[in-house]
Structure 1
Amino acid sequence: MKMSKSKTRTLHCLWLFLLACLCSASLANNAKINFREKEKKVLDQILGQGKYDARIRPSGINGTDGPAVVRVNIFVRSISKIDDVTMEYSVQLTFREQWLDERLKFDDFAGRLKYLTLTEANRVWMPDLFFSNEKEGHFHNIIMPNVYIRIFPNGSVLYSIRISLTLACPMNLKLYPLDRQVCSLRMASYGWTTADLVFLWKEGDPVQVVKNLHLPRFTLEKFLTDYCNSKTNTGEYSCLKVDLLFKREFSYYLIQIYIPCCMLVIVSWVSFWLDQGAVPARVSLGVTTLLTMATQTSGINASLPPVSYTKAIDVWTGVCLTFVFGALLEFALVNYASRSDMHRESIKKKRRDMEQASMDAASDLLDTDSNATFAMKPLVRHPGDPLALEKLRQCEVHMAPQKRPNCCRTWLSKFPTRSKRIDVISRITFPLVFALFNLVYWSTYLFRDEEEN
């Protein structure tokens, strides 16, 4: 009996505990329901019909009649592309504005109501901000519109929205592809002048950028915030701007443009080492490299806008094309010199034959004179006598001043023809001049100050 009474008491305690838990849960749910109902009552109280006029701007600082102050901050989510041809870039960002509207103050119920959330921007007054350098833009509505408005107990309003923009970015391509570009994001008031509305950057960290931001051909070095108030015929308008400094990645252009152009120039020099008689090989090599270089240049220019000034890449491709064309002209000069050498050799051969014939005739005449017993030898030799000519040449050699030997002339004297000398000189001159050009080019454009542009 005692055991049964103790079990009964235990069961009664368990039932009482469960009943208390159920009661507390129901009371909590009722409190939550009542609390959400209070939110509705607060919204109706501050935004009800005849309570709030969204057409009237808020008052100034401390309730004065000064301009309404709107603080702005943005979060850059991604930068999809930077187009050199159209000079624009696309960016996706979270845009936030915050201002104080004392008409929206409400009771927070001892801190239990932190803020009210709205999804309709037309319920409260909104600043008329617009992006002055925008080309295209759209909101994000999947799955729901990516926008919210938070109203805090002290009347502070926070507006946040996710948008995608295509913005104009005027570029200076004089140093392309060794350049840096500054792309701006400008935000201004469209209708309210500075007497009614002023935009300020949020204190602390007004611009945030996603950590894993990746661009295919650029690197975001830094960004700067500034003000850009503008004056027009209708008044002065508040304006904010963000300058994004992009550095172009050079490795892509080094692999795709600079190294192939160097290889084409070096291949054109192979013709200097081919035989002078290999006309088809040298002509085909020069024409092929020239056409390839021209195709490379046209492909580069197709990816850039037609600007009126000279770019760094234009200097490089122009000089490389000149070297390839110079190698082709060098063969034309060699071919002309080779034919001149052949003509000169034929003339020398005819002259030697004539001299040999004259010497044979003179020797025959001497033999005839020696056979005549009563012939007298002349005291002075005839000017056409070969022995007299030989002695005259020896005297001129001894009388001529001795010159110091020139190493270049001595080295060139090893090559008997002018055409061969042109090839040998080209083998040395072309690489040296191209190396000098590279030295001047890279030292000029790599260490050139950006402000000079």
Structure 2
Amino acid sequence: MCSGHYIWAIFFFASLCSASLANNAKINFREKEKKVLDQILGAGKYDARIRPSGINGTENAPTLVYVNMFLRSISKIDDYKMEYSVQLTFREQWTDERLKFDDIQGRLKYLTLTEANRVWMPDLFFSNEKEGHFHNIIMPNVYIRIFPNGSVLYSIRISLTLACPMNLKLYPLDRQICSLRMASYGWTTNDLVFLWKEGDPVQVVKNLHLPRFTLEKFLTDYCNSKTNTGEYSCLKVDLLFKREFSYYLIQIYIPCCMLVIVSWVSFWLDQGAVPARVSLGVTTLLTMATQTSGINASLPPVSYTKAIDVWTGVCLTFVFGALLEFALVNYASRSDIHKENLKKKRRDLEQASLDAASDLLDTDSNATFAMKPLVRHPGDPLALEKLRQCEVHMQPPKRPNCCKTWLSKFPTRQCSRSKRIDVISRITFPLVFALFNLVYWSTYLFREEEDETF
């Protein structure tokens, strides 16, 4: 028993010793990290105001800074202000020969800093930025990693509101290109050059959701600019957004079509229903005008005509035309009544004259009556008329014409002029509106494909 307790005591003592040695090793390792930091960033050993040397330590060569980013979200794209908001993780990487250190046989992979002012930083800024802020919850979302070979990686999470000039000629069947531009503020290309990181410089979060747009693709490019003070390095990312048309189809196009069709109901109402036809025309006109003003309120006042302006303008014209059609029908109806009164007076006068002549004939006692012959002569008009009717009956029947048969359902010749206008409007307005739809959709859908330049 004593020997067993002795063995367990030795094992427990050995484990305590190994744990103590491991803790001492960790303490010593952290102490070595501190010594390395003091060695490369100590007072009088590193000056953050001096830019690093160029490739292979060349003093006159520019410092190369490689840039990449991760798009975390795109919160909104504002058509009225022509801007969009984006949240991204932005990274820069460059080499500073003064920051090389011993990696302790591969055990020290990199050093991490949270204070950007400890090392030299490129003076990059976003040239089309309107607003921006860093994220400081719970700690500032920024770090700097220094690798043994002197390579420096700077990473930060930022939110930006960027300007996006838009061409709204095809709105809402348009595609918009919004750019994100980054440039050096003070260092010229002789001192500092920005380059996109090879491989995959821009990454986008999966399942990126936008309420009214779809991110189709993006493209990285260079946009160096020359000013009076020199040439400055610049990078840009072009984001191609396609507008989701289903929202506008449900909210704008279908309601406008319904208002235009409702205005045609006036053509089927009786001519005497003046209050009903006027109320219907004025109501649809005001509703269409309200719809148009609501659409324009969400868009900037541009100097050119947009596709939605063409649509709402033509729909408003059709509704207004239906109201004018009733005014024309009402005028024609009153004209028909006036003509009918004149004809009635003329018939009354003719009837009065015939009655007077009949009275004169009745009073004539010497009137004689001629006997009509029982046999018609060949030149008699009644005989010729009978012969013509027989010839008509002998002709073979003509084949029916479908167009004439369909048009015969609308007896415009027998109707009054006001009724004829209503009948013609029932056919003309839908046909012209259908033709407009054909031209409109074919034109703007094809222009959407032709104007897509990326």
TM, length-normalised to structure 1: 0.88
The answer as to whether partners of 2:174 and 2:448 remain within 8 angstroms in 1 is: no
Give the Cα separation in 1 of the matches to 2:42 and 2:409.
106
1:295-348 per-residue CA deviation (whole Å, 9 max, x = no partner) reads: 000000000000000000000000000000000000001101111111111111
Task: Say which is worse superposed, 147-156 or 389-398, in terms of deviation.
Answer: 389-398
Tell me the distance in 2 between the aligned counterparts of 1:325 and 1:127: 63
- Once the two structures are superposed, residues 233-264 of structure 1 have per-residue CA deviations (whole angstroms, 9 ceiling, x without a partner) of 00000000000000011111111111110000
Tell me how large the CA RMSD over aligned residues is: 4.6
Contact 1:71–1:98 (8 Å) recurs in 2: yes
Q: CA deviation at 1:357?
A: 2.1
Matches of 1:341 and 1:409, distance apart in 2: 27
C-alpha distance in 1 between matches for 2:42 and 2:369: 156
Cα 1:400–1:105, aligned 2, differ >3 Å: closer, same or farther? same
Q: Relative to structure 2, which stretch is displaced further, 346-355 or 315-324?
A: 346-355
Q: Deviations over 1:34-77 (max 9, x none)?
A: 00000000000000011011111111111113000000000001
CA deviations over 1:359-415 (Å, ceiling 9, x no partner) = 233333344445268999999999999999999999999999999999999988887
Given that 2:95 and 2:151 are in contact with CA atoms closer than 8 Å, whether structure 1 keeps it comes out as yes
Q: Distance in 2 between matches of 1:237 and 1:52?
A: 27
1:130, 1:187 within 8 Å by CA — same for their partners in 2?
yes
Structure 1 residue 181, shift from structure 2 partner: 0.4
Judged with a 3 Å threshold, the aligned counterparts in structure 2 of structure 1 residues 301 and 173 are, in CA distance, closer, same or farther, namely same
**Alpha-carbon spacing, 1:135–1:380, altered in 2? closer, same or farther (3 Å):** farther
| Cα drift, residue 355 of structure 1 | 1.8
In 2 relative to 1, CA 425–372 (structure 1 residues): closer, same or farther, beyond 3 Å?
closer
Change (3 A) 1:392 1:272: farther
The CA deviation string for residues 189-248 of structure 1, in whole angstroms up to 9 with x for no partner, is 000000000000000000001102101111100110000000000000000000000001
Asked if the contact 1:362/1:385 (under 8 Å) is kept, the reply is no
CA distance in 2, matches of 1:375, 1:50: 149
Q: Out of 360, 363, 370, which is 2:365 matched to?
A: 370
Tell me how far apart the structure 2 counterparts of residues 256 and 385 of structure 1 sit (CA, whole Å): 76
Alpha carbons of structure 1 residues 399 and 21: separation in structure 2 relative to 1, 3 Å: closer
Deviates more, 1:78-87 or 1:369-378: 369-378
For the residues of structure 2 that align with 1:281 and 1:384, how far apart are their CA atoms? 61
Residues 401 and 24 (structure 1 numbering): CA distance in 2 closer, same or farther, change over 3 Å?
Answer: closer
Contact 2:170 2:448 in 1 (8 A): no
| Alignment counterpart, residue 271 of structure 2, candidates 276, 298, 302 | 276
Identity of aligned residues (%): 93
C-alpha distance 432-218 of structure 1, shift in aligned 2 (>3 A): same
Distance 1:285 1:384 in 2: 64
Q: Does 1:115 align with 2:115?
A: no
* Offset of residue 354 of structure 1: 1.7
Q: 1:421 maps to what in 2?
A: 420
The answer as to whether partners of 2:97 and 2:150 remain within 8 angstroms in 1 is yes
d(CA) in 2 for partners of 1:363 and 1:426?
48
- Among 32, 35, 47, which residue is 2:29 paired with? 35
How has the CA–CA distance of structure 1 residues 143 and 202 changed in structure 2, closer, same or farther, with 3 Å as cutoff? same
CA distance in 1, matches of 2:93, 2:24: 34
CA distance in 1, matches of 2:382, 2:230: 109
Q: Counterpart of 2:93 in 1: which secondary structure? A: strand
**Are the structure 2 counterparts of residues 448 and 377 from structure 1 closer, same or farther at C-alpha, using a change threshold of 3 Å?**
closer
Alpha-carbon spacing, 1:293–1:19, altered in 2? closer, same or farther (3 Å): same
TM-fit CA distance, 1:21? 1.2
CA shift in 2, pair 1:52/1:316, >3 Å:
same
User: CA–CA distance in 1 between the matches of 2:449 and 2:305?
Assistant: 15
Q: Structure 2 unaligned segments of length 5 or more: list them.
A: none
From 43, 48, 52, give the equivalent of 1:49.
43
SS in 2 for 1:325: helix
- Answer whether contact 2:173 2:448 (CA < 8 A) is retained: no
Distance of 2:147 and 2:407 partners within structure 1: 92
User: What whole-Å deviation, never above 9, does each CA across 1:132-166 have from its counterpart, x for those lacking one?
Assistant: 00000010111110000000000000000000000
Contact 1:137-1:165 at 8 Å conserved across structures? yes
Q: 1:446 to 1:14 in 2, by over 3 A?
A: farther
Residues of 1 paired with 2:227 and 2:131: CA distance?
A: 24
In 2, Cα distance between equivalents of 1:398 and 1:360: 40
Q: How many Å separate the matches in 1 of 2:189 and 2:204?
A: 29
Distance 2:359 2:384 in 1: 18
Contact residue 96 and residue 152 of structure 2 kept, 8 A = yes
1:432, 1:193 → 2: CA distance? Answer: 65
The answer as to whether partners of 2:185 and 2:232 remain within 8 angstroms in 1 is: yes
Could you say if the C-alpha distance between residues 172 and 415 of structure 1 is closer, same or farther in structure 2, counting changes exceeding 3 Å?
closer
Q: What is the TM-score of this pair, normalised by structure 2?
A: 0.88
Change (3 A) 1:318 1:117: same
What runs of 5+ residues in structure 1 fail to find an aligned partner?
1-11
Contact 1:198–1:238 (8 Å) recurs in 2: yes
- C-alpha spacing 1:122/1:395, structure 2 compared with 1 (3 Å): same
**Count of aligned residue pairs for this structure pair:** 440
